């Protein structure tokens, strides 16, 4: 997410970190470079200009205290202004006092609107709500079927009748009320470009259902064009919030940094990746931290808390302590790690590690191979790897579509890991800390 923008900003900040004091010249030089980077990232020109003016004004009025450098001070000011540019505070999800809560989704075709509808339904379901998906896109081939398939994957009902979109939306609310659904998500039709017919249809649907919140769903990869589209939709239906999709792609950052300032509406959610649980509430402070290469440890901790089961963690701890960690346990931990997202996504959240993604080739498929090898073992082999002889390894290699060398490599790495766990369990921590005069009770 924003790797290119982050790396360029880090490079610009390096030039001013060595400065002894803040002057008009080094502030001007640094911010000229930042402005160029923002324009290259497809940030709206007026937004970039206003942003730089605010940072410059604050920088010139600041005294550098002894504990920080000029570079740190400018980065702090830029961080504060980025947070403000992105909305300042997190915009909470509005839930109606009289169920169902109704959420209307609008956007161009190809923006990821239908997929987001399913992701949002799963998100609401995890909070304890009972959502209903509504298929109002009767124009795009297989759009209704796509929503039905997505609903099936997350075990959420999809409402559809063979009528006009306005009638489908109206009937869905009655259906939700009489069947105990407390959230309704309406997926409307998109077009390849803005047209009056589409805008009028969405406007009529909004008038009929009176949504709790209406969201404009936008592909963050299309840069300033997204901002123009956002303004056109806002002028017509006056939506309540923005959803940025495809933030895991080759996103330059211009859309995210411009859109809120232009339409003055909060970014509510961001969507990353194809997995239906890859949705995050938008936090301006966390996003600013990611853009400046400082990671986002809070989001990483939240992801970990959602991925790890406390009882399973306790069982794993007991196995590690008694040196009974086997390939079945290893496979379970791989599945948990996969729930956190891709390796590159995890790295982007860890302070100081986001920049290594450009310098290191991360093979996401390696996890797939490892899992395939473990799945090709019998239960006995997973629990007792010592019985893996040459014949068994050949069978595992054939079954997993890998080579014997790859199977041997995994087994060897696993044996090394087991030795390390055993050493840690046998370590006398009292003896190790004695030289430091520490008392351990």
CATH number at residue 157: 3.40.50.300
205 and 235, same domain (yes or no): yes
Q: HSE of 171 in the Cβ direction (CA atoms, 13 Å)?
A: 14
Residue 163 in domain: yes
Query: Same domain for 267 and 341?
Result: no
One domain, residues 272 and 335 = no
Backbone angles phi, psi at 135, to 5 degrees: -95, 100
Residues 283, 316, single domain; the answer is no
Query: Tell me, what's the pLDDT at 246?
Result: 80
CA–CA separation, 361 and 96 (whole Å): 47
What is the reported pLDDT for 67?
44
- How high is the pLDDT of residue 27? 75
The answer to whether residues 348 and 418 belong to one domain is yes
* Cα R_g (the chain), whole angstroms: 26
Q: Is residue 356 part of a domain?
A: yes
Residue 281 β-bridge partners: 269
Whether residue 119 sits in one domain with residue 35: no
CATH of the domain at 348: 1.10.260.30
In a domain, 45, yes or no: yes
- Quote the CA–CA distance of 241 and 243 in Å, as a whole number: 7
| 403 domain residue, yes or no | yes
6 exposure class (CB count in 10 Å sphere: 0-12, 13-18, 19+): buried
Domain count, the chain: 3
Residue with tokens 């949504």: 211
> 244, 261, 294 — which closes off a domain?
294
Q: Is residue 95 part of a domain?
A: no
What pLDDT score does 436 carry? 42
* pTM of model > 0.75: no
Q: Which domain holds residue 394?
A: 303-426
The answer to whether residue 32 sits within a structural domain is yes
User: What are the phi and psi torsion angles at 409 (to 5°)?
Assistant: -65, -45
Which CATH number do you get for residue 59?
1.20.120.140
Question: Tokens 């001070």 label which residue?
Answer: 73
Q: How far is CA 386 from CA 168, 263, 380, 400, 414, in A?
A: 61, 63, 10, 19, 11
Pairing of strands 279-281, 267-271: antiparallel
Residue that finishes a domain, picked among 240, 275, 294: 294
Same domain, 274 and 418: no
- The pLDDT of residue 338 is 67
Tell whether 37 and 147 lie within a shared domain: no
pLDDT tens digit at each of 441 positions of the chain? 556 677 677 776 666 665 556 677 777 777 888 888 888 777 878 888 888 888 888 777 655 444 456 666 777 788 888 888 888 888 999 999 999 999 999 988 888 899 999 999 999 999 999 999 999 998 888 899 999 999 999 999 999 999 999 999 999 999 999 999 999 999 998 876 677 888 889 999 999 999 999 999 988 777 677 777 888 888 888 999 999 888 765 555 667 778 888 888 999 998 877 788 888 898 888 888 777 766 544 555 555 555 556 666 566 667 666 667 788 878 877 776 666 666 555 555 555 555 545 555 555 667 788 889 999 999 899 888 889 999 999 999 999 999 999 999 888 888 887 777 677 666 554 454 444 443 433
269 and 152 in a common domain: yes
For residue 404, CA distances in Å to 6, 135, 181, 378, 410 come to 41, 49, 53, 16, 10
Spatial neighbors of 416 by CB under 8 A, at least 6 apart, are: none
Token reading at 161: 């009748």
Q: What is the pLDDT of residue 321?
A: 65
174/246 same-domain check: yes
| Same domain as 380, residue 288 | no
pLDDT given for residue 69 in this prediction = 61
Q: Would strands 101-106 and 279-281 be described as parallel, antiparallel, or unpaired?
A: unpaired
Decide if 438 is inside a domain.
no
Residue 430 has a pLDDT of: 46
Q: Are residues 140 and 284 in the same domain?
A: yes
Single residue among 267, 294, 321 that ends a domain in this structure: 294
Q: Is residue 244 part of a domain?
A: yes
């Amino acid at each position: 997410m924003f790797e290119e923008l982050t790396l360029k900003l880090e490079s610009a900040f390096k030039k001013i970190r060595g400065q002894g004091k803040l002057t008009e010249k080094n502030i001007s030089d640094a911010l000229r470079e930042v402005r160029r980077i923002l324009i290259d990232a497809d940030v709206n020109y007026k937004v970039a200009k206003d942003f730089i003016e605010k940072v410059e004004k604050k920088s010139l009025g600041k005294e550098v205290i002894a504990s920080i450098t000029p570079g740190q001070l400018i980065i702090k000011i830029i961080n504060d202004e980025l947070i403000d540019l992105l909305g300042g505070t997190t915009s909470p999800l509005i839930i109606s006092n009289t169920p169902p809560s109704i959420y209307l989704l609008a956007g161009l075709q190809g923006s990821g609107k239908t997929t987001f509808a399913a992701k949002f339904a799963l998100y609401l379901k995890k909070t304890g709500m009972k959502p209903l998906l509504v298929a109002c896109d009767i124009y795009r081939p297989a759009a209704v079927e796509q929503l039905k398939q997505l609903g099936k994957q997350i075990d959420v009902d999809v409402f559809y009748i063979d009528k006009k979109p306005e009638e489908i939306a109206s009937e869905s609310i009655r259906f939700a009320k009489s069947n105990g659904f407390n959230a309704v998500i309406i997926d409307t039709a998109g077009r390849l470009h803005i047209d009056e017919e589409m805008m009028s249809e969405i406007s009529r649907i909004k008038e009929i259902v009176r949504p709790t919140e209406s969201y404009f769903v936008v592909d963050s990869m299309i840069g300033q064009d997204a901002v123009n589209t956002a303004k056109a939709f806002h002028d017509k239906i006056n939506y309540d919030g923005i959803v940025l999709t495809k933030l895991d792609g080759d996103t330059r950052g211009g859309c995210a940094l411009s859109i809120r300032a232009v339409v003055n509406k909060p970014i509510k959610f961001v969507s990353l990746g194809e997995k239906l649980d890859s949705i995050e509430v938008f936090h301006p402070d966390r996003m600013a931290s990611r853009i400046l290469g400082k990671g986002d440890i809070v989001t990483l901790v939240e992801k970990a808390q959602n991925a790890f089961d406390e009882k399973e963690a306790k069982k794993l701890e007991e196995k590690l302590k008694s040196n009974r960690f086997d390939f079945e346990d290893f496979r379970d931990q791989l599945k948990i790690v996969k729930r956190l997202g891709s390796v590159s996504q995890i790295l982007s959240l860890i302070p100081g590690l986001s920049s290594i993604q450009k310098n290191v080739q991360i093979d996401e498929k390696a996890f797939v191979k490892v899992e395939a090898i473990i799945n090709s073992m019998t239960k006995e082999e997973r629990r007792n790897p010592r019985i893996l002889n040459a014949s068994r390894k050949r069978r595992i290699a054939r079954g997993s579509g890998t080579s014997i060398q790859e199977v041997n490599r995994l087994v060897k790495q696993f044996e090394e890991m087991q030795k390390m766990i055993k050493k840690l369990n046998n370590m006398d921590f009292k003896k190790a800390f004695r030289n430091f005069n520490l008392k351990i009770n």
